[in-house]
Amino acid sequence: MGKFVKDIDHFFEFCKENEVKFVDFRFTDLNGTWHHLGYNVKAVNKEMFEKGVPFDASSFGGWQPIHRSDMIFMPEAQSAFLDPFTADVTIVVFCDIYDIYNNEMYAKCPRSLAKKAMLHLKQSGIGDEAFFGPENEFFVFDNVKIVDKTNCAMYEIDTEEGEWNDDKDYKDSYNTGHRPRKKGGYLPCQPVDSMVDLRAEMVQVLEQVGLETFAVHHEVAQGQGEIGVKYGTLVEAADNVQIYKYVVKMVAHLNGKTATFMPKPLYGDNGSGMHVHQSVWKDGKNLFYGEGGYANLSDFARHYIGGVLKHARSVAAFTNASTNSYKRLIPGFEAPSILTYSSQNRSASVRIPYGSGEKSVRAEMRFPDSTANPYLAFVALLMAGLDGVKNKIEPVGPMDENLFILHLDEIREKGIEQLPHTLRGSLESLIRDNAYLKPVMTDEFIKAYQHYKFETQVWPYEARPTAYEFKTCYSC
């Protein structure tokens, strides 16, 4: 992320130079949702950066009880950027949460945990930097309707790109017939790709707020797109995900459309993932590089991958953090759930990109998605990988065949583990397998996280009948 502010003193100079009217303090909850508290710039002073700003932490799920609700968020001046969407000039500042009861950074603050993980990496002597490059895919729709009642549940989404509109009569326009169709949207030109100008606007705004972009394209599904953002350190990369999602949703919104990072909004078409590229460095050298090894992987990289794959079933509680996540992780839609690694092979859960050299060799974890809290997801992946390095865990593989065509019996015969098929399965794995997280995440945090996910995702989901259940069970 491009840095506009060097320190606290420069922050106030920057505000004056840009005639800032409001300061927007933003922080991230357990879900990964951004929240904000605005201040008139005249009311903001240096002491707020040094001592923090009080707020009510009991209003956020999984955080504080009502009788111990006071917390403080600590603004980080160097993270500031100008909000491109407000009518009055507003500067956004990332914040971490401070626990006044224990006099330390809050154990349930995702961004603080990300910083704690980086400190652990350095203190361990294993490495001094970890780089993450997430690829967040998204959908853009023209309309969405949702009903969730006692006697009625339905959703309906629409995009002009949807093949279901082939026979639609448009009141003030006409039906062009140019559509990507199911699984047909990868890299088509206009007019099939209807979102070229919309994505270009997103790119311009992302660059304006300091993110460096590269590839910009239509993805496989109808109404699906992706914008490549340059990698960064663990905290930088997670910060960038928050900015990226904000910009994509706002640009769509201001153009009369709606963007979503939901993994599987369309039945029968590809879903949206958050592929995460990773590498660990020490003294300026990429520890993942090993000349002559499979795909130029070092022993360090192979063991790191081994750790991620060994713990993947519990890591998924953070990287695939919704019930909808597991509707994406089924064969046939380029979303791998088979826990092995391979070079160039997109059917493996971990892919080594083609042509990786000394500076660029890395591992791409292909199973995560954007319902993940990016700070927690990256921490879980890093800690699982470091556990693999520490214990020299060998991964299953490499496997260079098309894993999507394997039957369940063949997968079992090959001794390959799979990701859980539900969020409940991932959370239950997290309950059993969490020791690798302990250097960074407390028992209290892990317990609070899994309880929160059961209460907000698993139990409500399991209690609701679906349209398909009526279709298959009503006449029983």
> Is the distance from CB of 397 to CB of 342 less than 8 angstroms?
yes
Q: What pLDDT, in 10s, does the model give residues 434-447?
A: 999 999 999 999 99
pLDDT-based confidence at residue 229 (cuts at 50, 70, 90): very high
Q: Return the pLDDT at 176.
A: 94
The predicted model gives 419-430 an average pLDDT of 97
Position 113: which residue type? L
| Catalytic site positions | 56, 135, 137, 219, 226, 275, 346, 364, 366
Q: Return the pLDDT at 412.
A: 76
Taking CA atoms, 289 is separated from 278, 280, 285, 362, in Å, by 12, 10, 9, 8
Q: Find the largest Cα–Cα distance for the chain.
A: 71
Q: What is the pTM of this model?
A: 0.96
Percentage of the chain with pLDDT > 70? 98
Q: Tokens 């298959």 — which residue?
A: 472
Backbone angles phi, psi at 50, to 5 degrees: -90, -35
Length of the chain: 476
The predicted model gives 223-245 an average pLDDT of 98
Q: Return the pLDDT at 164.
A: 97
Calpha distance 43→63 (Å, rounded): 28
> Is the distance from CB of 422 to CB of 453 less than 8 angstroms?
no
Calpha distance 78→227 (Å, rounded): 25
Structure tokens at 280: 């660990």
Q: Tokens 């015969």 — which residue?
A: 413
Q: What pLDDT, in 10s, does the model give residues 330-375?
A: 876 666 788 999 997 778 899 999 877 899 999 999 999 999 999 9
Q: What pLDDT, in 10s, does the model give residues 62-113?
A: 998 899 989 999 999 999 999 999 999 999 999 999 999 999 999 999 999 9
pLDDT-based confidence at residue 124 (cuts at 50, 70, 90): very high
Taking CA atoms, 278 is separated from 141, 295, 316, 336, 366, in Å, by 31, 15, 16, 17, 11
The 10 Å Cβ neighbour count of residue 407 is 9
Q: H or E element: which one contains 81?
A: strand 81-82
Q: Return the pLDDT at 402.
A: 76
Structure tokens at 187: 């890299």
